[in-house]
Structure 1
Amino acid sequence: MRFRPRTTTGSRRGRHTVGAVAATAAMIVAAVAPFSLSAGPARGAGPSGSDPFTVTGAQLRWGVNNESNNRAFAPGTHNFFSAGIVPDPGRGGTTLPQSSWRASEGDVRIEKQQADGAYALATWDGLTTTPQGATITSPASGQFSNHQVVLGAGSGTVDPATGFATIAWKGSFTVLFYSGMSFFTVTDPTLTVTPERAQLTATAGGFASDMEDQAQWSALPPTPVVLADLPRAEVDLTAADGFASTPAYLGVDWQVPADESAQVGGQWKGAFPSSFLDFLATAGTAGYWYSTGGSTDAYKPALPLTVSWAGAPVVAPSPSPTATPTKPTRTPTKNATPKPTEAPTAAPSRPPSPTAAPTASTTRPLAPAPPGTPSSVDAATAPDTGVLAGGSATSPLAVQPVLVQAATSPPTSAAPAADDTESHVLWLLGCVLLLGALATTLISTSLVSKPVEGTK
C-alpha cells in the first residue's frame, strides 16, 4: 500500500490566500508608485516658498534710460547701445562705423521694441528710429528707439527666507553717446541683495572725452561702480519667475564736482548712483545722468529693469507716459546731500545653500502695446546746450514698457501647497481602492475553496 501526503482543506486554502495576497500587493505597488513619486514638492520647477535655490539661466533686461535711446544734439548723431566692447577709435571726435557695432556677443543681446510691442534683435537701422519705424526728429521730441540690453545665463543663489541673493552675469555692453564721440563700457553686472539693500553693480570702463576739446581721448582704468540702487521692497525673492524694479533716481542727490553743472531741483530732480556718476564725470558724460536743468531732464530717470530666474517673462506694470514721479525710497535731508552709495556693497556674508535651479518657461516674452507717440517739437535745437531754441516746452516723459506675460498665457506657476495636497489625496484614494480589492480577493478565495480528499 502506498501512502500519499495528507492534504487538508486549510493548507490548500492557505496557498490560495498567499498567492492572492502576493498578486494584490504587486498591484498596489505598481499603482501607488506614481502617486508616491508625485506626492512631494517638485524641486527644480521653481522657487518653493522660502526654500533657497540656485539659478543658472537668469536674465537681466534693462533699457537703462530714455536718454540712452534718444537722438543726440550733434547733427546726425544718436545715443544707443552695442553688445560687447567697441574698438578704441584711437582719438576723440569720431563716430562708430556700422562694422564696429554688434547686436549680440556671447550672452549679451541688444533688443529693440517692435511696433506690436514684442522685442527682437536690434539692427543698425533701428538705432535711429522709433518702434513704429519713424525717424527720431530731435532730442526733445519725446521719441525714443526703445532698445534694451539683455544679459542671459546669469548664475547665483537666492534665499528668500534670509533675504540674501547674488546673481552674476558674464559679458559686456557699450553705451554710446553722440554716435560714439563719447562712450563707456559695462562689464559683468552683478545683482547683490541683502535684507536692507539691493544693488546692481558692474565694472565700468571707457575713455575720457570732452565735447569742448574733442582732441581729449584717454583710456580710463576699470572701475567698480553701482549701476542701480533698487528699492528693496520691489525685489521679491519669493516670486515664482523673478521681479521688476525701477532703480532710484528721482529725489536722489549727487555731490557735484566743481567742474560739472550744478544739480537742479524741480519735477525731474534726481541722479544715478554716485559711484557711477563719479566715473562718468571723468568720462565726460556725467551731465546726461543727473538733473542739470536741460530740456531732456525728463528723459534721464532710470527705466524699470527685470530679473528673471530662468529667462521666463516677468510680469510688471508699464509706467505711464505722463506719470507723476514718485518719491524716492530715502528722502535726502535738507542740510546734506548724501551719496546714495559710496561703493558697491560686498557679497552677502551668509550665502544661501543651493538647491535645484528653476526650469525655464516657454512663454514668449511680450510687451504691452507702445504708448501713443508724443507730439514732436518742431523747433531747431542748439547743439551741445541741451536747450531748445526759442524756449519750447519739454514733451511729457516717455518710457519703455517692461516685458509682461502675454494676456493669452496665464502664469504657469502654482502654489506648492496646493500641489502637495492634491498628490496626497490621490495617493490615499489609490490605497483605499486597492485595499478594498485585496479584501474582496480574500473573501472570494474563502468562498470558492472546497475540501480535498485526504487518503486513498
Structure 2
Amino acid sequence: MRRLAVVGALAALLAVAGVGAAVPAAAAPGDVIVVVPDSTTGPTPTPGGTAIDDAQLRWGLSAEAGGGAFFGGCNFLSAGRAGDAGSGRVWGADDGLYRPQDGAVRIEKPASNGEWVAASFASRCLDPQGREVSSASTTSTSGNQVVIDGGVGTVDSGGATRIEWSGSFTVAFYGGLTYWSVTNPVLTIDESGSGRLVGTASGYGTDMDDLSAWEQLPERSIVLAEVRRVDTSAGVGFAVVPEYLGVAVTTGDTPQTRTGSFWGSFPQSFVDYQQLTGQNSYWYSSGGARDAAKPATTLYVSYDAAAPVAVPPPGSGAPATGSGSGAAPSNPVRMPPGLPAPNAVPSVPTAATVGVSASAAVTTLPAAKGLVPAMVAALSPLVVPLLGTAAALGLSIVAVLSLMQALPWQRRRGMS
C-alpha cells in the first residue's frame, strides 16, 4: 500500500511540473514508474538569456555565386539538396534539379525597385534590372540569396549564441556542371563576438577536363563562414561580413594568389571540399579576372523571421546593419601553420574613394599597351627627365635660328 502511494505521489509531482504523462493503470504493486518527457523545444537559455524558436539565416555566399559563367550561363543557388544529374551537365527547366523553395528554405533575388522577390529557374541568370549576368564584369551578379527560417537556439546574456537550422540548399556553378549542397547549418558565436557557421556538405564530383567523370561525394562537416566582431547587443539579430580578405589557405593544383586588393579565401575546410567538387579556385584568390567577385558577402541573422534585420536595397550602397557596417571589409591576415607571412593586405577601394557610383557596372578589361617603347622602362629614372629637357632646349634653338633667318633652307631661299 505504501508503494502504491509512492507511485501516486510521483504522478502528482510530474503533473505539477507540467509533464502531462499518465501513470499506466496496469502498474504492478511495488513498481515505481519514472516518466521522462518525450522531447524538448531546444536549448535552455541561461538566466538573462533569450530562447529563439524561429530565427532566419540569409546569405548569398559571394557575388561569384550569382555571377556570369564562361559556360552554362551563370552560377546560382537552389533550394534543397539537388539530386543526381548523372554527369556534369547544364541543368534544364524540367529535370527537377532546380528548386526555388524546399521546406523552410527559399531562394530570393533583388528586383529593380529594391525589393526581394522569389527566384525562379527563368530568372536565375538575371541581374536586378532583368539583364543577363555577364562573366566579363565582376560586378554583374544576380544577387541571389538563400533564406532559411525556423532556426532554434539561444542567445545568452553575455552574447554567446547557438542557432541551428533544418534544411538544405545547393550551390551550382557553370549552369550546373558542378554543384554541391549544404544541410542543417549551425551558427555558434562566443562572448567575444567570434564564431563560425558550420554545415554538412554533400554533392557530386567531376573533372573540368572530363565531364563524364562523375561520383557521389562523402558527406563532410565543413566551416562555411568564420565571423568576428559580431555585435548581438541589439537583441534582434545582426549582419556581418565573414572572414575572407587576407585569409591564406593551402590549395591543390591552382595556387592561391596573395597580392592585390581582393586576395583571400573561404575557410580551409570549405576549400578542401571544393577540391572534390571541381569548384576549388572559385572560393579563393587565384589570380584570375574574377577574383574581385570571390570575397564573402554579408551574412544576416535575425532572431525572429517575422521581424528580420534590415537588408540594404541592392545597389543602394548603404552599409549593412550590425557588425561589419560602414567601411569596406578588411580582415586581419590569417595564415595556416607552416606558411610564410605575405605582404601587408592593401585596403579595398570603395565607390566613394574612386568616384564611381555604387550601382554603376564596371567591366574588367585587359590593360592597354603603353605608347612608349618598352626599353624606356629599363632606363635610369634620371635619364627620361634629361631627355625631355634636351628636347625642349633643341626646339628653343631652332625657334631662335628661324627668327634670325639663319636656318640653312632660309639662307638658300634668300640667295636665289
Q: After superposition, where does 1:31-50 map in structure 2 within 5 Å?
A: none
Q: Distance in 2 between matches of 1:52 and 1:262?
A: 42
Determine which of 161, 164, 167 is the counterpart of 2:163.
167
Residue by residue over 1:179-203, the C-alpha shift from the partner in whole angstroms, topping out at 9 and shown as x without a partner, is: 1100010100010112353110000
Contact 1:267–1:325 (Cα < 8 Å) also in 2: no
- With 168-177 and 123-132 compared, the bigger mean Cα shift is at 123-132
Quote the offset at 1:392 in angstroms: 7.5
The corresponding residue for 2:331 is 328
Give the Cα separation in 2 of the matches to 1:194 and 1:182: 35
What is aligned with 1:108? 105
1:109 aligned counterpart, secondary structure: strand
Give the CA deviation at 1:391.
5.3
Matched, 1:246 2:241: yes
Give the Cα–Cα distance (whole angstroms) in 2 for the partners of residues 98 and 105 of structure 1. 16
Once the two structures are TM-superposed, the CA of residue 230 in structure 1 deviates from its matched residue by: 0.6
Gaps of 5+ in 2: 1-46, 320-325, 342-356, 370-416
> Aligned to 1:188, which of 177, 184, 190?
184
Aligned match of 1:446: none
Q: TM-score, normalization: structure 1? A: 0.60
Distance 1:56 1:333, change over 3 A: closer
TM-score (norm 2): 0.66
CA contact (8 A) 1:155 1:167 kept: yes
Cα pair distance change 1:186/1:333, threshold 3 Å: closer
Change (3 A) 1:55 1:142: same
Secondary structure in 2 matching 1:56? strand
- Deviation track 1:313-338 (CA, whole Å, cap 9, x = no partner) reads 31467894999854314554997369
Out of 227, 251, 256, the position equivalent to 1:256 is: 251
- Aligned counterpart in structure 2 of residue 266 of structure 1, from 250, 260, 263: 260
In the alignment, is the contact (CA less than 8 A) between 2:80 and 2:102 conserved in 1?
yes
- The SS at the match of 1:209 is strand
Residue aligned with 2:124, SS: helix
Aligned residue for 2:289?
A: 295
Please give the residue correspondences for 1:144-223 in structure 2 after superposition, counting only pairs within 5 Å.
Answer: 144-161=141-158, 163-196=159-192, 197-223=194-220
Q: CA deviation at 1:240?
A: 2.6
Change (3 A) 1:141 1:52: closer
Secondary structure, aligned partner of 1:298: helix
Correspondence list, 1:1-12, <5 A:
none
Cα offsets for 1:399-432 (capped at 9, x unmatched):
xxxxxxxxxxxxxxxxxxxxxxxxxxxxxxxxxx
Residue 135 (1) aligns with residue 132 (2) = yes
- How far, CA to CA, are the matches of 2:318 and 2:303 in structure 1? 28
CA contact (8 A) 1:66 1:146 kept: yes
Letter matched to residue 130 of structure 1 = D
* Aligned match of 1:278: 272
Structure 2 matches for 1:397-436, cutoff 5 A? none
CA apart distance, 1:156: 0.8
Letter of the structure 1 residue corresponding to residue 359 of structure 2: G
Residue 408 of structure 1 is matched in structure 2 by: none
Q: In the aligned structure 2, how far is the partner of 1:78 from the partner of 1:205?
A: 21
Equivalent AA in structure 1 for residue 360 of structure 2 = T
SS of the aligned residue for 2:211 comes to: coil
Shift of 1:371: 4.2
The one of 92, 98, 103 aligned to 1:97 = 92
Larger RCO of the pair (alpha carbons < 8 Å, separation 6+): 1
Distance 1:203 1:298 in 2: 27
> 1:95 is aligned with what amino acid?
V
What's the CA shift string for 1:366-415, capped at 9, x where partnerless? xxxx94231446xxxxxxxxxx6x5589xxxxxxxxxxxxxxxxxxxxxx
CA drift at 1:135 = 1.9
Q: CA deviation at 1:264?
A: 3.3
**Structure 2 CA distance for partners of 1:321 and 1:376, relative to 1, 3 Å:** farther
d(CA) in 1 for partners of 2:201 and 2:340?
A: 24
Note the C-alpha offset of 1:261: 3.1
| Alignment pair present for 1:56 and 2:46 | no
Percent same amino acid at aligned positions?
A: 36
- 1:85 partner letter: R
Q: Where does structure 1 lack aligned partners over 5 or more consecutive residues?
A: 1-49, 339-369, 378-387, 394-456
- Let me know the Cα RMSD of the aligned residues: 2.9
Q: How far is 1:210 from its partner?
A: 1.5
Aligned residue runs from structure 1 range 265-414, under 5 A: 265-311=259-305, 312-315=307-310, 320=317, 325-329=328-332, 331-332=334-335, 336=339, 371-376=358-363
- Count of aligned pairs: 298
- Aligned letter for 1:266? G
Distance 1:96 1:391, change over 3 A: farther
Write the letter of the residue equivalent to 1:127: R
Q: Is the 8 A contact 1:262 1:292 kept in 2?
A: yes
Q: Distance in 1 between matches of 2:308 and 2:258?
A: 37
Does the CA-based 8 Å contact 1:172-1:187 persist in structure 2?
yes
Correspondence for 2:83: 87
Return closer, same or farther for 1:391/1:306 CA change in 2, 3 Å cut-off.
same
CA shift at 1:310, angstroms? 0.5
Q: Secondary structure at the match of 1:216?
A: strand
The alpha-carbon deviation at position 215 of structure 1 amounts to 1.9
Q: Distance in 1 between matches of 2:340 and 2:272?
A: 15
Once residues 103 and 62 of structure 1 are traced to their aligned partners in structure 2, the CA distance between those partners, rounded to angstroms, is 15
